[in-house]
Amino acid sequence: MSLRIYNTLTRALEDFAPLEAGHVRMYVCGITVYDLCHVGHARSAVAFDVAQRWLRASGLRVTFVRNITDIDDKIIRRALDNGEPVRQLTSRMIDEMYRDFDALGIERPTHDPRATDYVPHMLGIVRTLEGKGLAYRSGGDVNYAVRRFPGYGKLSGKSLDELHAGERVAVAEGKEDPLDFVLWKAAKPGEPPDAQWDSDYGSGRPGWHIECSAMSCALLGETFDIHGGGADLTFPHHENEIAQSEGANGKPLARVWMHNGFVNIDNEKMSKSLGNFFTIRDVLKKFDAETVRFFIVRAHYRSPLNYSDVHLDDARGALRRLYTALGSVTPDPAAAIDWSQPHAARFKAAMDNDFGTPEAVAVLFELAAEVNRGKSARLAALLRSLGGTLGLLQGDPQAFLRSGATLDEATIRQRIEQRAAAKKAKDFAEADRIRAELLQQGIVLKDSPAGTTWEAAS
pLDDT in tens, 208-240: 999 999 999 999 999 999 999 999 999 999 999
CA torsion sign for 339, 343, 348, 353 is positive
pLDDT value, residue 402: 77
CB 343, CB 368: distance < 8 Å: no
Q: Is 271 helix (H, G, I), strand (E, B) or coil?
A: coil
Percent of the chain with pLDDT over 70: 95
pLDDT tens digit sequence for 65-93: 999 999 999 999 999 999 999 999 999 99
pLDDT at 159: 85
Beta bridge partners of 306: 264
Beta bridge partners of 451: 448
Q: What is the reported pTM?
A: 0.88
**Three-state SS at 279:** strand
pLDDT at 169 (0 to 100): 42
Outline where DSSP puts E strands in 49-112: 61-69
Q: Is the per-residue pLDDT at 270 higher than 90?
A: no
Tell me whether the omega of the peptide bond preceding residue 236 falls within 30 degrees of 0, making it cis. yes
Rounded CA separation 47/54 (Å): 11
Convert 136-175 to b/e letters by CB count within 10 Å (16 or more is b): beeebbbbbbbebbeebbebbebeeeebeeeeeeeeeeeb
Which positions ≥6 away from 107 have C-beta within 8 Å? Answer: 49, 52, 53, 391
The 10s digit of each residue's pLDDT in 17-43 is 999 999 999 999 999 999 999 999 999
Burial class (CB in 10 A: 0-12, 13-18, 19+), 80: middle
Task: Give pLDDT tens digits for 416-431.
Answer: 999 999 999 999 988 8
Rounded to whole angstroms, the Cα distance separating 70 from 195 reads: 10
Which residues in 177-213 are b (16+ Cβ under 10 Å) and which e? bbbbbbbbbbbeeebeeebbbebebeebbbbbbbbbb
- CB 329, CB 371: distance < 8 Å: yes
SS3 content of the chain, % helix, strand, coil (to 5): 50, 20, 35
The answer to whether 40 and 270 are in contact (CB under 8 A) is: yes
- Measured in whole angstroms, how far is the alpha carbon of residue 293 from the centre of its chain? 10
Separation CA 9–CA 70 (nearest Å): 28
**Alpha-carbon separation of residue 305 from 25, 268, 392 (angstroms):** 27, 11, 19
Q: Is residue 380 within 8 Å of 332, Cβ to Cβ?
A: yes
What is the distance between the terminal CA atoms of the chain, rounded to a whole angstrom? 41
